Structures are given as C-alpha cells and as structure tokens.
C-alpha cells in the first residue's frame, strides 16, 4: 500500500482554457449554489438586524443598521428557564456525546458491512433485513422498549446510555452503506488477501480499512450531523448532567409563548451548526479519487 499513490486533488490537470461548456458548467453550478445559499443568506442577514427592522422590513434586504446584539446573546447570555448562559454550557456535553457515539457507531457499521459483504453465513441476510427494517421506524416507537431495556441494564440516563441509543439508531443505515460500498470493491482483492494468508481481522485492518476512506467520510458526516442535531433522545437518555446544546438551542429558537427574538434564533442556529459544517469542509482532503486504484496496484 503506497501512501504516495493517494492524491489530494482529483487526478489530472485542470483544464487550462475556458470552453463554452466550461462556462456553462460554472454558470449552472453558481445558480444552484445561489438557490442553496438563499436561506443561509436570510439567516445571516436576519441575525445582524435588530428586532424592529425584522418586524417591519423586507427579509431579503441587507440590514440598515448593523447590529451584533444577537451573537453574544445566543452564545452566552440567552435565557432558557432559570439558566441564562446561552448555548455555551451544552457544548462540552454535545462533544462528550457525539465523539464516542460516532466512533462506536461507525466502527460497528464498518465491521458489520465487512462481515456481510465478504463473510456471509446462512441467515446473515435475514438479520440484516431485520436490522434494515429498523431504519424505517419512527423513533418514539423505539423509545419505550429502549427505556425499559436500558433501565433494566442500569445505564438509563447516563453517557453510556445515550451512546448506546445513538449506536442502535445508526446501525441500520451505517451497516447498509458500508456493506454496499464493500460489495462494490473488486472481489479479487479479497481473494488475493485470503490466499496471502489473511484471516477475518487481518484483512479488515490491513486491506479493507485503508480503502474505506470515502465511505467512512460519508458515514461520519451522517452520524455527526444526526447526533449533533439530536435533541429528544439526549433529553430522555443522556441524564441531566449530559444535556446536549441542542436542548438549549431548541429552548432559544422554538419559543411557544413569548417574544421571539428572531435575530438571536438565527445566530444560535448558525453557531450550533458550525461543528458539522467544519467536519464537512475538512473532510474534503480525504474525499479523493484513486484510492481503490492505488490499492490494487500497490
């Protein structure tokens, strides 16, 4: 496995001249980008206005008077109930929940996908089918049995409790995406490794995992997003000392009775999504072409 064969940019040189096709391509991409960016634009613009302007003005206009009031309030001053510390307190908890949950659920998904793709045994697919079925169940339906089970084991309302819950909820889809990815790899690769004397674990660690980067990125994006933004499962299973910041976020933005400070809402939402966005942006380095090819040749 030669590391040097992993390219950081897509292979090939960038086309040097702009053909009509190229211009058309960029135009189209820019138009799509505008559509996608439009709500974010509204959110940023709103977060920089004061409430009077929001109430009376046009939501697409740039703020007449720039106001940064909303941002520090969202981060450290917004009141939810008795506590007036904004989003900040929940940040550590969210990290405490997300990092282990992502690691455990993605690892388990990869292991499952690997076993199902290359080491099938009779009845494996039946269980996989049952597992996949779990992806379609609305979560509250699963909460009751999980409550009882976790209570019986004694990990209800604790950090391991919420990690287990996130792992369970993530298992169906993660297993599926890893299994499908591995099933699309050339089978000769696997056969060659077996001939070379590899067993279940060795092949997993030395052959399969290095090739799994693109799909692992996808899995991590999926889990980081889902777990970071989760709020109801955290409320019920994490225990009162481990409440994620989404509880505070929801308390700030989803106000039933009372004055809605839309600028603070927007600021709070943008702040909360910084972490997943950072993950998306950084993941680019590993979203490359040619790893599979490199692996075969290397």
Structure tokens at 242: 């481990």
Of 76, 83, 192, 196, which one interacts with other proteins (CB under 8 A)? 83
251: nearest Cα among 269, 275, 224: 269
Q: Contact, 176 vs 125, CB < 8 A?
A: no
Contact characters 93-132, other proteins, x per CB under 8 A: ---x--xx--x----x--xx-xxx--xxxx-xx-xxxxxx
Of 239, 244, 263, 271, which one interacts with other proteins (CB under 8 A)? 239
Owner of token pair 């949950």: 101
Q: How far is the CB of 78 from other proteins (least distance, A)?
A: 10
Of 5, 23, 26, 76, which one interacts with other proteins (CB under 8 A)? 26
Q: How far is the CB of 66 from other proteins (least distance, A)?
A: 20
91 in contact with other proteins (CB under 8 A) = no
20 or 141, CB closer to other proteins? Answer: 141
Q: How far is the CB of 102 from other proteins (least distance, A)?
A: 11
- Select from 26-34, 68-76, 190-198 the region that touches other proteins (CB under 8 A): 26-34
Q: What are the φ and ψ backbone dihedral angles of 80, each rounded to 5 degrees? A: -135, 110
Q: How many residues bind other proteins (CB under 8 A)?
A: 140
84 in contact with other proteins (CB under 8 A) = yes
3-state secondary structure of 80: strand
Please, which of residues 198-237 interact with other proteins by CB under 8 A?
199-201, 214-215, 217-218, 221-222, 225, 229, 231-232, 235-236
Distance CA 37, CA 16 (A): 28
Q: Write the CA distances from 204 to 3, 193, 210, 225, 288, integer angstroms.
A: 18, 10, 9, 26, 21
120 or 196, CB closer to other proteins? Answer: 120
| Angle, CA 64 vertex, CA 60 and CA 69 arms, to 5° | 95
Burial code (b: 16+ CB inside 10 Å, e: under 16) for 22-54 equals: eeeeeeeeeeeeeeeeeeeeebebbbbbbbebb
Of 106, 247, 263, 271, which one interacts with other proteins (CB under 8 A)? 247
Please, which of residues 141-170 interact with other proteins by CB under 8 A?
141-151, 156-157, 159, 168
């Amino acid at each position: 496995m030669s590391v040097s064969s992993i390219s950081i940019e897509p292979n090939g040189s960038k086309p040097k001249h702009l053909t009509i096709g190229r211009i058309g391509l960029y135009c189209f991409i820019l138009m799509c980008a505008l559509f996608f960016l439009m709500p974010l634009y509204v959110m940023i613009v709103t977060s920089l206005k004061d409430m009077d302007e929001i109430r009376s003005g046009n939501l697409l206009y740039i703020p007449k008077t720039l106001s940064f009031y909303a941002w520090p309030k969202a981060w450290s001053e917004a009141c939810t109930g008795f506590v007036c510390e904004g989003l900040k307190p929940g940040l550590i908890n969210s990290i405490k929940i997300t990092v282990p949950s992502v690691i455990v659920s993605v690892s388990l998904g990869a292991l499952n996908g690997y076993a199902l793709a290359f080491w099938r045994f009779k009845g494996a697919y039946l269980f996989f089918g049952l597992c996949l079925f779990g992806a379609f169940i609305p979560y509250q339906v699963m909460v009751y049995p999980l409550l009882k089970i976790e209570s019986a084991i004694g990990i209800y309302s604790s950090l391991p409790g919420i990690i287990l819950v996130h792992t369970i909820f993530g298992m169906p889809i993660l297993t599926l995406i890893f299994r499908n990815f591995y099933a699309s790899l050339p089978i000769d690769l696997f056969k060659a490794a077996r001939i070379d004397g590899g067993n279940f674990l060795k092949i997993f660690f030395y052959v399969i995992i290095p090739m799994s980067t693109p799909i692992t990125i996808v899995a991590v994006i999926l889990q980081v997003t889902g777990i970071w933004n989760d709020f109801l499962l955290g409320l019920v299973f994490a225990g009162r000392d481990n409440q994620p910041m989404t509880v505070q976020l929801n308390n700030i933005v989803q106000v039933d009775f009372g004055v809605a400070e839309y600028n603070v809402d927007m600021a709070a939402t943008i702040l909360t999504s910084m972490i997943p966005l950072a993950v998306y942006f950084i993941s680019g380095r590993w979203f490359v072409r040619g790893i599979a090819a490199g692996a075969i040749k290397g």
